[in-house]
Amino acid sequence: MSWGSCYSAATASEAHVVKGFLELRGVPCVLQSDGLSVYPSAALGRGVKVLVPEHWLAVAQKLVAGRAPARRPRRGRVIRLARRSGP
């Protein structure tokens, strides 16, 4: 079976998130590090590729392209409470 890259991540953590996203949708995938090991890849400037079977490549690329970007956390509003009068 021939495999193709549908996504290239800068870190192993990012690659694992994409892999989980695809697997939840039924797309088989594996990770391939461009370095000797997955762990030092970010420090050495190497990435991690998410590979899928060639016949799944178009589907996987569309899914990854259509996923929602991470949301920034909302900042809370400050609510001022009225002071109690008396003891």
- Could you list the pLDDT tens digit for every one of the 87 residues in the chain? 899 999 999 888 899 999 999 999 999 999 998 766 545 544 555 689 999 999 999 999 999 998 766 566 566 666 676 777 666
pLDDT at 41: 45
pTM of the model: 0.67
pLDDT at 86: 64
- Provide CB contacts within 8 A for 5, sequence distance 6+: 32, 49, 50, 51
Domain 3-66, CATH 3.30.70 — does that match? yes
Domain ranges of the chain: 3-66
